[in-house]
Every structure is written in C-alpha cells, then in structure tokens.
Amino acid sequence: MVVEGLSPGTYDGCVTIKGKEYKKCFQVHVKESTAIVAEVRLEQEVAVFNVHKGTKPYKIKVNNEIVLLTESNSFSIEVKQGDLLQVETSKVCEGLFNEKILYKENELNLYPNPAKESVTVNFGEELKNSQVLLIYDTKGLLAHQQKVPKGIKTIQIPITSFKQGVYCLILTTSNGTKTKKLVVR
C-alpha cells in the first residue's frame, strides 16, 4: 500500500484482510521535509555548488538536461550566459534549487577558462567603437593583439600557440579599461 501527499503529522491506520479475522494497527509519524538549501558562485564559466541541506544523490540539470548525478555536496559544472541550472535531491518533497546564469552587463567574461585551444571573449555589450584587445604573459610580453570592430559583443581567439600559463587580457573601452586573467593549459 502506498499513500502519497500526506501533510506532516501523526496518522493512525489499520490493515484488515477481508474474510479473515486479521487486524494490524499502527501509527505513522510524517515529519516535515527540509527544503534543499544550496549556494552557487561563478568562477568565470564554471558554476561551483555547495549543497547544505538535501538528500543525496543530487541530479544536476543545465537547461533541463541532466549533466551530473553525484553523492557529493560540492561540485562544479561548466556554464554559459543564460543557462538555467537546477539541482534536485532524491526526495521530490525537498523541492528544487534553480539558478539562471546572468553575467553582469558591461563585464568582460572569458570561457572556457582555463582553456586549451581557444577562448571566447564576451565584452558584456556591443562595442561602441573599434578597440584593440591585448593579451600579455606573466613576464609582460605581448602574446596576442587583435583589433575588434565596432558592434561586436563576442569573439573567439585561438590560443594553440600559447604556452601553458597565466595571461592578462586587456581591453580599453569608453567605459574604462577591462582586464581578466586567462589560464592556458
């Protein structure tokens, strides 16, 4: 026998068998469920999760597609602007954790980061004027220079010729100078 949708409380019940002298009585205590409690922080194009309350295993979805099943309370997944992230616990009654990925306007964003073959640069807005994008290594040597035309919001830069390490990406716009750290693997 399955009984669903009970509110928290104490319930008395008995089971009998028709045509037999059998009766078994019991009491059931239904506890109030605890809602899932989680936090997420963005580290470039990676969402880092910490689940504080919720029943394992966790089912993680990006745009309604399952991308991870885990028993861990801490995990991370790659994300993009506009992605809808969801964390479900093994108990439906604990609810669902939702987070939409929205980068701040006018913010320079790189993904993936760390990168191997190419990196996408999102300027956060369409450039009002053509600009020069500069990438320096940790020694201060220019590793890449690229003119970015007016009206562009996103570009992709091949980095296969870059050595592994940390780089500084710099773009000067009418809103000021924007810098981001790029890690090449």
Residue extents of the structural domains in the chain: 37-100, 109-184
pLDDT at 50 over 70: yes
**Which fold would CATH assign to domain 109-184?**
Immunoglobulin-like (2.60.40)
pLDDT at 185 over 80: yes
pTM: 0.49
The per-residue pLDDT for range 70-104, each reduced to its tens digit, is 999 999 998 887 889 999 999 888 888 988 877 66
Let me know: does 180 contact 114? Beta carbons within 8 Å.
Answer: no
Which two tokens mark 105?
A: 């306007």
pLDDT at 44 over 70: no
Q: Which of 152, 80, 160 is nearest to 115 (CA)?
A: 160
The per-residue pLDDT for range 118-142, each reduced to its tens digit, is 998 988 778 888 899 999 999 999 9
First to last CA, the chain: 56
Matching residue, tokens 């600009």 = 131
Phi, psi of 93 (to 5 degrees): -65, -15
Q: Could you tell me what percent of the chain has a pLDDT over 90?
A: 46
